[in-house]
Amino acid sequence: MSEPTLEFEDLKLAYMVRGTAREVLRGVSFAIQAGEAYGLVGESGCGKSTAAYAAIRSLPRNARVLSGAVRLAGRDVLSLKKNELRDLRANTVSMVYQDPSQALNPTIRVGPQLIESFTVMGVDKHEALKRSTAILHKVQIADPDVVMDRFPHQLSGGMQQRVVIAMALACDPKLLILDEPTTGLDVTVEAEVLDLIRNIRTEYGTSVLFISHNLSVVRSICDKVGVLYAGKLVEEGSAQNVFEHAVHPYTIGLLKCLPTHGLRKDAQRLSTIPGFLPSLGADLPTCVFVERCSFADETCTTEVPLWRSLGTSSVRCHHAEKVAGSPAENEIAGVSVEINRKIKPILELVNVSKSFHQGGQSFKAVQDVSLSLYAGETLGLVGESGSGKTTLAHTLLGLHAADAGGKILCDGKELLPGRRRRTLEQIRAIQIVFQNPDSALNRRRSVRKIITRTLRHLARVTPEEIESRLRSVIAAVRLTEGHLDMRPGQLSGGLKQRVAIARAYAGQPRVMVCDEPTSSLDVSVQAAILNLLADIQRESNTSYLFISHDLRVVRYLSDRIAVLYLGRIMEVGPAERVFDGPHHPYTEALLSAVTSTTGSTTSRIKLEGEIPSSMSPPSGCVFHTRCPRRLEGDICSTVEPPLMATPDGGVMRCHIPFEKLGGRV
Amino acid sequence: MARYVIRRLGLAVVTLFILSVVVFVVASVLPGSVGRAILGPFALQESVDQINKELGVNGSLYSQYFRWISHAIRGDFGDSYKFQGPVTDYLASAFWSSTKLAVLTLIIVVPIGILGGAIAALRKDQASDRIITVTGLSLAVTPEFAIGIVLILFFAVKLRWVPAGGSADGSIIQQFKVLILPAVTLSATLFGYIARMTRAGTIEALAADYTRTAELKGLSRSRVLGVHVLRNALLPTIAVLASQMSYLLGGLLVTETMFNYKGLGLLIANAANDRDIPMLMAAVFVVGTFAMIMTLIADVITAWLNPRIRFGSHV
Amino acid sequence: MTSETQPIAKTPSQEMRSQLLRSKTFLLGNLGVAFWAICAIAPGLIVNRDPAEQNLIKKWTHPFTDGFVLGTDRSGRDVLSRAIYGAREIMFIAPAATILGVVVGVMLGLMMGYLGRVVDDILSRIIEALISLPVILVALLALTVLDAGRATIIGVIGFLFAPLIARTVRAAVLAERNLDYVRCAELSGENSLYVMFVEILPNIFGPIIVEFTVRLGYAVFTMAGLSFIGFGTQPGSPDWGRTIFDERTSLLSNVWWPSIIPAIALASLVVSINLIADAIQGVVDK
């Protein structure tokens, strides 16, 4: 076999924090062969990005290589001279990272930034310009000249990422490093960027190092996968093998946390991984996973597990055979709850609109939305960014006032538009859990203070009862008394989100809005939070308005789903029907974008063009500009389809008759 | 961009109006009458009234303000109480002298400040960074006269290279000799701010992802710094430079007094000591206007350098 | 991504405190300020000569002669005593003016940042106009018209600092306002005063402390400048600014100590204050 494109040889790397070395990579070895795509997966803090940056020696100043080597195209990266390193970067390796808007220089036009990637290799200006145009065509940018004349901020996120990828391809690299290249992009855009990466691989035969926390994305791109935990590889093998027949307890745990295969809250609770990731530089003399492993025994705490091959995978575990052979753990079944939709809904929105003014123009972020929410029910709200999901939620909460003309009813009584004009009782009825608990919790206050203030002020709990109510709230979110006197900064992300849920739940609201409550969390933590939300709902019959960009998460928790596009309802219906069809063409495209990342080979439904601005929404059906099933003639572009009732009690906004809409085959 | 500039200009007019009101209110409405302030506590009330009338500070406040501002717009700030001549004449020559001093100061301090800040940023947390930062900071907060007096001691008294003060007349070289000490004094104060801002801007740009992109393209260090870092680093510096203009102008007051240099600063100090209210009001108003124009220019330059504003769809 | 690591032990404010105590510049700055504070409160502890005692025969005595450690000035007064007593006025007026400015500025900043809209628009315009004016000029204008007592100086400097402080506080409040805990408080039915003063204010303590120390330095700077021009202190006062103005001409006769000594004293005070400010800023920014 020829020499590998990239090879890590027992790399140990530490960050110096106030004089002490904190080990991040604890001896990482792997190799990427020519033309191979290698995925490095793991939760945040496992060292995967550090590994990526070590491969091109772009490390922070406090990083120290303790031992080991990195070879790129046969050269020892860590001992190259400065000009040799520059040469290597210019000709052999390229990198694309997470946020494309940060990766491009905001003050320079796209053209010169791209041309520079060619001139650095000694190509003359004229030739560089020609090649730049050609490479933009390659990354499927239709009008390169226009794009090259733009500044980065004038391009959409997907376009920016294409430009960054074009820059990376300029030198026809032997190795392309992709560090979370689609995180933060909408599903439809993510799917396009992934398509592009696949095309590039077949066309250029470039080796790829792909870093991601998103397992399904890695699976859809990579040939081989390495699972990193606390700075050590714990399992490696072909992508198919690792994802379908994982043998390391950590890999198995990670995979089981995901609400995949149409899993729903009433069918099954999600698995979680107990415990915490060891902190940076923690002393881990034997197996790095031992503290959280349900298979661990005495051998695991005394002997270092060796890297050994097991069938087609390699693994670092004493009990891999036993783990692989053991039957699936007893999955805890969920409990299904009957929702009575015959009585009046808890919450009703009738023709709610919200417009904003910007630069003298006014535009509708939410237009004529009518929805209802019943006791104990979860209504999922999905749509790409800019679809008005969060605006709708904030309008409902009264954080900003709805436009005149619509109505919000809670328990049959009309709520006035802004929160200032609502009674305390009305405010208390609708609460919210925000995406980022760091932002949602006052960092100067203890957990106790955060919750008691809500109990006393909002829930009007008497001083005598405070203590007992506090305890029951804490218990409901599975926190302990020990957490009460901590500040948010002393808690982990998952625990913080529990505190945020406790705050929202303390006033016993009728409706809880959950705005992407798990998207800043790792998958294992996400599973625990989703379980918690399902438990709380079952116990208290609280209704949820659940917003998420992750369709699998929405499906797990929701009873009904509403799909928004440009602030308008496209369809509302029972979760199973919306997912399995017949569904709106937009929903179909969203779902298809997700399946393409889970590795299935069905051809993806592509959405043409970019999301139009809500400043100037398209005429007729707002979705017609991107609709793959636009009808012949001009009905779609001239007449806005009315919301039609569907047989299952939902609504649909499409000119295509309900029976003829697509569904999952 | 055009929209941004127009908006900025509109705001400047509003600011100018507020500025004139502030100056007027401070001088006229605060307890105590102008005439009394000029003549002192023992003067007869009739004389005070008389002088108030001469200065146009009788009648309703609104009409007083209107009279003052309508003349001021046409460049007529009335007569100096002390010199008995039009304020504008004295103001003009002093303004010219001060401009010479300010320009020389900027020529000295802007390149040195930017260079110092950039060096400090590139050697972040090393000895040279600490030296530049701490020296800059110390100089920035030390009053100009405390720095000026040390400079006079060494360069005028001990070494006798340049005069200890005076006016800038005669040949260019003579003028330069007079101007250099006060200019260095003012520069010393401004250096710290400019260096500090450049340092912060450069550090931010160095840590940015786009700089990493440039490095990973394999570009040379000088190209990474010159093309990718510098422009982004200087954006905040220019904005600060403008806001420091008011410090520079405030510094003129003390520095010109120290070096007995006949510019706006000395004019104002003398007017204050002589209680020459019309002169004082005019000078403060002119200085404020000037500072505001500088801010405006800097805002426009910053906007022009920043494509997000220049090509922003809506600002 | 939030990482799921084990809880850490120290709260951010504890961490800040321990970092400050390790900072050499912070300790040095405090030492300087403490020294001048003692001089201001009890100058008699340090020197025993009367700073006002004239002795024309001993005019311009060189340092270390006749028991005058730092020599005498044009009226034969002890330069060392005057330098020590010179701290009195400024060490009282500058902190008082700064406290006034911070209190007013914080209130304005909180209102502008949190209430926003019309309040913010109007106040922002006024503040922008005030900021474009050099503080020392407006102070001079006001002191010319008003009687130049201590209270006036404190009021004028404090009032002129308030907009600068308000601008910083406003920016900090705007950043906080974007955080969801403010929304959470609003959805707990809290009123604006509670949100501003109980929820937000503790979170912007860092920038306020930085602003306080920085402004204290400026207050000394401004006060010294005014007194150099002849405002704010009585003739003959040992105040540094006034002394330097009075004695600067002796330089030409090669007599440096009466003017250079107070200049060094003044510089040491402002530099000390700013070393503290710099250290705090370094910790707060992290």
Radius of gyration of chain B (CA): 23
Per-residue pLDDT averaged across A220-239, rounded?
A: 92
Q: Nearest CA to CA, how far is C194 from chain B (Å)?
A: 32
More confident residue, C204 or A265: C204
**C48: Cβ–Cβ under 8 A, 6 or more apart, which residues?**
none
Per-residue pLDDT averaged across B104-131, rounded?
A: 92
Query: What span, in angstroms and rounded, lies between the C-alpha atoms of B140 and C273?
Result: 12
In a domain, B213, yes or no: yes
Best B204, B206, B216 residue to mutate vs chain A (most A CBs within 10 Å):
B216
In a domain, A218, yes or no: no
Residues A276 and A371 in one domain: no
Chain B residues touching C244 at Cβ < 8 A: 145-146, 149
Helix-helix angle A125-138:A110-119, to 10 degrees? 110
pLDDT digits (tens, 9 = 90+) for A448-496: 999 999 999 998 899 999 999 999 999 999 999 889 999 998 888 899 9
Residues A423 and A543 in one domain: yes
A vs C: CB pairs below 8 A: 113
| CB pair distance less than 8 Å for B280 and C221 | no
Confidence at A225, pLDDT banded by 50, 70, 90: very high
Chain A residues touching B214 at Cβ < 8 A: 105, 116
Q: Nearest CA to CA, how far is C200 from chain B (Å)?
A: 27
Per-residue pLDDT averaged across B139-159, rounded?
A: 89
Residues A548 and A584 in one domain: no
Apex B37 CA angle, B33 and B43, nearest 5: 95
In a domain, B126, yes or no: yes
Please count the structural domains in chain A.
Answer: 3
Chain C residues touching B149 at Cβ < 8 A: 244, 248, 251, 259-260, 263
A contact chains, 3+ CB pairs < 8 A = B, C
Q: Nearest CA to CA, how far is C216 from chain A (Å)?
A: 26
User: What is the extent of the structural domain holding A515?
Assistant: 347-558
In a domain, B209, yes or no: yes
In a domain, A621, yes or no: yes
Q: CB-based contact (8 Å) between C260 and chain B?
A: yes
Query: What span, in angstroms and rounded, lies between the C-alpha atoms of A581 and A665?
Result: 9
Q: Nearest CA to CA, how far is A500 from chain C (Å)?
A: 9
Query: What span, in angstroms and rounded, lies between the C-alpha atoms of B4 and A204?
Result: 46
Q: What is the pLDDT of residue C200?
A: 96
In a domain, A168, yes or no: no
**C109: Cβ–Cβ under 8 A, 6 or more apart, which residues?**
C165, C166, C167, C168, C169, C170, C172, C173
Q: Decide: A280 and A260 in contact? Cβ < 8 Å.
A: no
User: What is the extent of the structural domain holding B117?
Assistant: 87-310
| CB pair distance less than 8 Å for A91 and B218 | yes
pLDDT at A267 over 90: no
Per-residue pLDDT averaged across A197-206, rounded?
A: 88
DSSP C203: G
Chain C residues touching A436 at Cβ < 8 A: 180
| CB pair distance less than 8 Å for B143 and C217 | no
Q: Nearest CA to CA, how far is B220 from chain C (Å)?
A: 31
Residues A535 and A493 in one domain: yes
| CB pair distance less than 8 Å for A443 and C12 | yes
pLDDT digits (tens, 9 = 90+) for C54-106: 777 877 777 877 777 777 777 778 888 888 898 888 999 999 999 999 999 99
Q: Nearest CA to CA, how far is C128 from chain B (Å)?
A: 7
Residues A418 and A550 in one domain: yes
Residues A546 and A578 in one domain: no
Long-range contacts of range B22-25, CB-CB < 8 Å, 24 or more positions apart?
B22/C129, B22/C130, B22/C133, B22/C138, B23/B281, B23/B284, B23/B285, B23/B288, B23/C138, B23/C141, B24/B64, B24/B65, B24/B68, B24/B69, B24/B281
In a domain, B218, yes or no: yes
Residues A317 and A355 in one domain: no
| CB pair distance less than 8 Å for A86 and B219 | yes
| CB pair distance less than 8 Å for A503 and C180 | no
CATH code at B156? 1.10.3720.10
| CB pair distance less than 8 Å for A492 and C179 | no
In a domain, B35, yes or no: no
| CB pair distance less than 8 Å for C4 and A431 | no
Best A214, A276, A442 residue to mutate vs chain C (most C CBs within 10 Å):
A442
Query: What span, in angstroms and rounded, lies between the C-alpha atoms of A208 and A201?
Result: 8
| CB pair distance less than 8 Å for C187 and A432 | yes
| CB pair distance less than 8 Å for B22 and C132 | no
Average pLDDT, whole number, for chain A? 88
pLDDT at A11 over 90: yes
| CB pair distance less than 8 Å for C4 and A432 | no
**C223: Cβ–Cβ under 8 A, 6 or more apart, which residues?**
C89, C90, C93, C94, C97, C153, C157, C232, C241
Give the pairing of strands A175-179 and A63-72.
unpaired
Q: Which residues is A366 bridged to in the sheet? A: A354
Q: CB-based contact (8 Å) between A307 and chain B?
A: no
Write down which residue in A535, A558, A581 finishes a domain: A558
Distance of CA A322 to the CA centre of its chain: 33
How far apart are the two ends of chain A, measured CA to CA in Å?
A: 43
**Which segments of chain C have a pLDDT < 70?**
1-12, 148, 286
Q: What is the pLDDT of residue A665?
A: 45
Q: Nearest CA to CA, how far is B140 from chain C (Å)?
A: 9
pLDDT digits (tens, 9 = 90+) for A509-545: 999 999 999 988 888 889 999 999 999 999 999 999 9
| CB pair distance less than 8 Å for C203 and A443 | yes
By Cβ distance, the residue of A103, A107, A117 closest to B209 is: A103
pLDDT digits (tens, 9 = 90+) for A575-634: 989 988 789 999 998 888 876 555 555 567 777 777 787 788 888 999 998 888 888 888
Best C28, C132, C218, C245 residue to mutate vs chain B (most B CBs within 10 Å):
C132
In the stretch 205-224 of chain B, residues with CB closer than 8 A to chain A read 208-210, 212-220
Residues A386 and A255 in one domain: no
Q: Calculate the alpha carbon distances from C230 to A317, A508, B240, B246, C153 in Å.
A: 82, 67, 30, 21, 13
**A621: Cβ–Cβ under 8 A, 6 or more apart, which residues?**
A627, A636, A637, A639, A640, A641, A653, A654, A655
pLDDT digits (tens, 9 = 90+) for A338-397: 788 888 899 999 999 999 887 677 888 999 999 999 999 999 999 988 889 999 999 999
Rounded to the nearest 10°, the torsion over CA A223, A224, A225, A226 is -160
Residues A487 and A601 in one domain: no
pLDDT at B263 over 80: yes
DSSP A602: S
In a domain, B68, yes or no: no
Per-residue pLDDT averaged across A647-651, rounded?
A: 90
In a domain, A225, yes or no: no
pLDDT digits (tens, 9 = 90+) for B169-205: 778 888 888 999 999 999 998 999 899 889 999 999 9
Q: Nearest CA to CA, how far is A96 from chain B (Å)?
A: 8
**C187: Cβ–Cβ under 8 A, 6 or more apart, which residues?**
A397, A399, A419, A427, A430, A431, A432
| CB pair distance less than 8 Å for C187 and A399 | yes
Q: Nearest CA to CA, how far is B225 from chain C (Å)?
A: 25
pLDDT at A330 over 70: no
Residues A548 and A437 in one domain: yes
| CB pair distance less than 8 Å for C3 and A522 | yes
| CB pair distance less than 8 Å for A44 and C6 | no
Unique residue bearing structure tokens 């290698």: A38
Residues A534 and A581 in one domain: no
In a domain, A534, yes or no: yes
Write down which residue in A325, A355, A373 finishes a domain: A325
Helix (H, G, I), strand (E, B) or coil at C122: helix
In the stretch 75-134 of chain A, residues with CB closer than 8 A to chain B read 86-91, 94-95, 97, 99, 102-109, 116-117, 120-121
| CB pair distance less than 8 Å for C273 and B141 | yes
**A398: Cβ–Cβ under 8 A, 6 or more apart, which residues?**
A415, A416, A417, A418, A419, A420, A421, A422, A427, A430
Q: CB-based contact (8 Å) between C184 and chain A?
A: yes
By Cβ distance, the residue of C145, C251, C278 closest to B37 is: C145
In a domain, A600, yes or no: yes
Q: Which helix (H) or strand (E) holds A512?
A: strand A511-515
B vs C: CB pairs below 8 A: 173
In a domain, B62, yes or no: no
In a domain, A283, yes or no: yes
In a domain, A467, yes or no: yes
Best B204, B212, B213, B215 residue to mutate vs chain A (most A CBs within 10 Å):
B213
pTM of the model: 0.86
Confidence at B261, pLDDT banded by 50, 70, 90: very high
Chain B residues touching C133 at Cβ < 8 A: 19, 22, 246, 284, 287-288, 291
Residues A407 and A553 in one domain: yes
Q: What is the pLDDT of residue B59?
A: 64
Q: What is the pLDDT of residue B32?
A: 53
Write down which residue in A325, A359, A378 finishes a domain: A325
Helix-helix angle C257-285:C240-247, to 10 degrees? 140
In a domain, B113, yes or no: yes
Q: What is the pLDDT of residue B85?
A: 83
Q: What is the pLDDT of residue A122?
A: 87
Quick one: closest CA in B to C25, which residue? B134
CATH code at A477? 3.40.50.300
Per-residue pLDDT averaged across A72-97, rounded?
A: 91
Q: Residue-wise over B128-137: b if at least 16 C-beta within 10 A, else e? A: ebeebbbebb
Q: CB-based contact (8 Å) between C191 and chain A?
A: no
Q: Decide: B146 and C263 in contact? Cβ < 8 Å.
A: yes
Distance of CA A114 to the CA centre of its chain: 29
Lowest mean pLDDT among A25-34, B129-138, B229-238, C177-186: B229-238
pLDDT at B313 over 50: no
By Cβ distance, the residue of C9, C178, C181 closest to A441 is: C181
Best C5, C178, C199 residue to mutate vs chain A (most A CBs within 10 Å):
C5
Please count the structural domains in chain B.
Answer: 1
